[in-house]
Amino acid sequence: MLEPRPIRRLSVLIPVFNEVRTVGEVLRRVRAVELPYELELVVVDDGSTDGTRELLQEEAARSRDLVLICHPENRGKGAAIRSALAAASGDVLIVQDADLEYDPRDYPRLLRPIVEGRSHVVYGSRFLGEHKAMYFWHWVGNRFLTLVTNLLYDTTLTDMETGYKVFTAEVARQLRLRSDRWGFDPEITAQILKRGYRIYEVPISYNGREYWEGKKITWRDGLTVLWTLLRCRLFDR
């Protein structure tokens, strides 16, 4: 067991692309969580064209806890997370999507294993907690890609593709991420596991979006995830 880990600052990494309807509410919900740490919101606008950038610029101008980074064009979630990692200064970092599928009220549960010294890395599992029913083929795809992860990296995860990934600054400094888009989740998971860290899973709530609400992932992204898992296992150090 690790030593208990005091947290001074929590960095919330928020990649955003065309989420003008939801990003303001996400920021409000994150700030509403009662935590005994300083909060740093690192928001990366990844080339939004729907008014998201303007909304975030107004928010950054009146907020001391928000760091805003703007990409001139859309580069993908992985690229946005890399930019956020470079700017974050927290002792612990958490990835927060901007689409209201994940509930920041789960933060205390996600942070507890790190604070208590049980792990350097925590994933929130949608399959262990209460959740809105997924599309069937999304469920199958998630299960299959998690199974491949477990086979390739000798682990027993239930939800590799979860949006809630929490890790210490020590872990963040060791990451060498290069995937720009949906390869982010398998790449960060592979690098964490190959460096000898065990991932602690906790149940979270999940309210998946419908396509008409702006859900972006497709079956082609699943192929990207599969290739990334294989590349990281066979070719990357």
Distance (Å, whole) CA 73 – CA 49? 9
- Evaluate whether 27 touches 62 at the Cβ level (below 8 Å): no
The stretches of the chain forming alpha helices (DSSP H) are 23-32, 52-61, 77-87, 107-115, 136-153, 169-172, 184-194, 219-234
Distance (Å, whole) CA 179 – CA 168? 21
Does 151 map to a domain?
no
Does 40 map to a domain?
yes
Does 232 map to a domain?
no
Domain range for 61 is: 9-133+162-180+187-208
Structural domain count of the chain: 1
Summarised one tens digit per residue, pLDDT across range 6-59 is: 899 999 999 999 999 999 999 999 999 999 999 999 999 999 999 999 999 999
Summarised one tens digit per residue, pLDDT across range 160-184 is: 999 999 999 999 999 999 999 878 9
Report pLDDT for 237: 66
Can you say how many angstroms the Cα of residue 24 is from the centroid of all Cα atoms in its chain? 18
Does 221 map to a domain?
no
Report pLDDT for 217: 62
pTM above 0.75, yes or no: yes
Tally of CB atoms within 10 A around 125? 20
Distance (Å, whole) CA 130 – CA 11? 26
Domain CATH code at residue 56: 3.90.550.10
Report pLDDT for 226: 86
Amino acid at the residue 208: G
Does 227 map to a domain?
no
The more confident residue out of 133 and 227 is 227
Residue 98 has pLDDT above 90, yes or no: yes
DSSP state of 76: -
pLDDT range class, residue 211, cuts 50, 70, 90: very low
Contacts of 198 (CB under 8 A, 6+ apart): 119, 121, 155
- Evaluate whether 171 touches 121 at the Cβ level (below 8 Å): yes
Does 92 map to a domain?
yes
Two tokens at 53?
A: 């950038």
Does 216 map to a domain?
no
Does 65 map to a domain?
yes
